Structure 1
């Protein structure tokens, strides 16, 4: 299981409440913030739900 770095690159203003809650559950609270997660199916599903607001890269 690899690790991924998720960074919020767009604002959550005017997004549905479910997407705001998904960002919060990923640990992203402000624009430009980055967090590291294990690449589990649950985390990848959350990232896919807000893929237009975040950028994802593999961690080494």
Structure 2
């Protein structure tokens, strides 16, 4: 199985509520925190929606 690390580097203030919900679903709680996520189409779609708020690194 493939994994990747997602790091939130921009705040969720002044973004649409749908994007805030996506960040919450991904487990992003605070700036600078990272989360290791499974490399699957559903997660990649969520990351694509908030790509301006997070950085992605392959593990």
Unaligned runs of 5+ in 2: none
- Tell me how large the CA RMSD over aligned residues is: 0.6
TM-score relative to the length of structure 2: 0.97
Aligned length: 59
TM-score relative to the length of structure 1: 0.95
Unaligned runs of 5+ in 1: none
Runs of 4+ in 1 over 3 A off after TM superposition: none
